[in-house]
Amino acid sequence: MTPTELAPRFFIAVAVILLFCRVVSWILGKAGQPPVVSEMLAGVLLGPSLLGLFFPQVQAALFPAPLLPVLYVVGQVGLVFFMFQAGYAFKSHRVTRLAGTAGAVSLAGVTAPLLLGVLLVVVTSDAVPLRPDGVSLGVSAAFVGVALAITAFPMLARIITERGHAGTRHGSLALASGAIDDLVAWIMLAVVLAFASGEAGPAFVTAGGAVLFGLALWFGGPRVTRLLIRSDRLDDRGRMLGVVALLFLVAFYTDEIGLYAVFGAFALGVVMPQHERTDRVISVTNPVASAVFLPLFFTFSGLRTEFGLLGEPRVLLFAAACVTLAIVGKFGACWAAARLRGEPNGVALKVGALMNARGLMQLIALNVGLEAGIVNASLFTVLVLVALVTTIMTTPVLTWLERREKRVTAPAEEPALAVP
């Protein structure tokens, strides 16, 4: 298919994706689900799990094989902008007064699902075909563990803001814990990818490149970004173009050394100065990236998700075990850690519910693993299911906990009857 033939296919595919995501978002919005959940589900429904199952000719016409690399590249643009904004949000949500408790909750929320995921893969390795040829058991187990350990920090921040929980004890604690959790999980994912290369050369390139990148960010990042943002020689348009160019250069570098563009974008967001000019740049770039480019990433992920693979009993049992351990490992461990730190049960339960959501962050990790060749179609589908279930359950669980609290506290708040 020539570029001239591919261009109209791209335009109609994007139109279908955006409109379908909007319809699903409107429907699920009635149930209180955030837009990111709707876009995740819409992407899966446009793939072989639904559209390809019932109307394979329509799906093949809408999303021909030559179009998939284009969707991937354009979706990566959305991801880079999204992770840049996530890094900037990470920096703005530091809560020092809760450092000890947030550290404990984050440690539990990473360690428990990591160990449970590794154990599950080790125990079922001979029974369930979830490893591509040439991938060691250790790499596969470590990847699953890291995937289960991830928390959807940007979505968590959005839920807390939209529900009016910003500034509350559980909201602040969940934000601080989620930020630490995601940072640790992304570092672990980078380590797993380095080991997955199987050769010393690429591993040294990744490790050495990461060290150079870290040093450059530590010593030069704040200075360069501060100069870019605070320079009066640039107007808003010039400043935005400078930030975008720097963002793409960083994404290029981290992709080339094997860390992938999302790592560089997140790190650049972390070192950006907190300034109203930075806010303006993000307010211009983020809406277009989130509304137009990011849904293409969801659809690209959905086109590689085949829930029909869960029809095999062994894979289905593994998926059920994975979902269960993901919830127990994240929700249960974060709740227990918060309780051990002296938090009230209501606060601990809400923190556990928020930390349990994997959302877009797990989808990003899965696509990174698939591109690196350490995830096959069955494991990809299983972990997409984990991301969907844990994300969809967040809002209903929070609503139930809030109603439960109101029922418990309402009698205590009633005024006492006056004694004549």
Confidence category of residue 160, pLDDT binned at 50, 70, 90:
confident
CA dihedral 252, 383, 377, 259 (to 10 degrees): 20
Confidence category of residue 415, pLDDT binned at 50, 70, 90:
very low
Pairwise CA distance, residues 263 & 179, whole Å: 14
Q: What is the mean pLDDT of the chain?
A: 85
C-alpha distances in Å from residue 44, one per residue of 66, 153, 349, 387: 19, 22, 30, 12
Query: Is 204 or 416 the better-scoring residue by pLDDT?
Result: 204
| Angle (deg, nearest 10), helices 68-92 and 153-162 | 60
The answer, yes or no, to whether residue 416 has pLDDT greater than 50, is: no
pTM of the model: 0.80
Query: Is 359 or 58 the better-scoring residue by pLDDT?
Result: 58
**Ramachandran angles phi, psi of 255, nearest 5°:** -65, -40
Query: Is 188 or 197 the better-scoring residue by pLDDT?
Result: 188
In this structure, of 75-84, 167-176, 285-294, the range with the lowest mean pLDDT score is 167-176
C-alpha distances in Å from residue 17, one per residue of 36, 360, 382, 391: 14, 17, 23, 21
Q: Which residues contact 207 (CB under 8 A, 6 or more apart)?
A: 194
Pairwise CA distance, residues 368 & 374, whole Å: 9
- The number of C-alpha atoms within 13 Å of 141 and in the hemisphere containing its C-beta is 14
DSSP one-letter string for 251-309: HHHHHHTTS-HHHHHHHHHHHS---HHHHHHHHHHHHHIIIIIHHHHHHHHHTT--GGG
Residue whose structure tokens are 């109209």 = 8
In the chain, what is the straight-line distance between the N-terminal and C-terminal CA atoms, in Å?
89
Confidence category of residue 417, pLDDT binned at 50, 70, 90:
very low
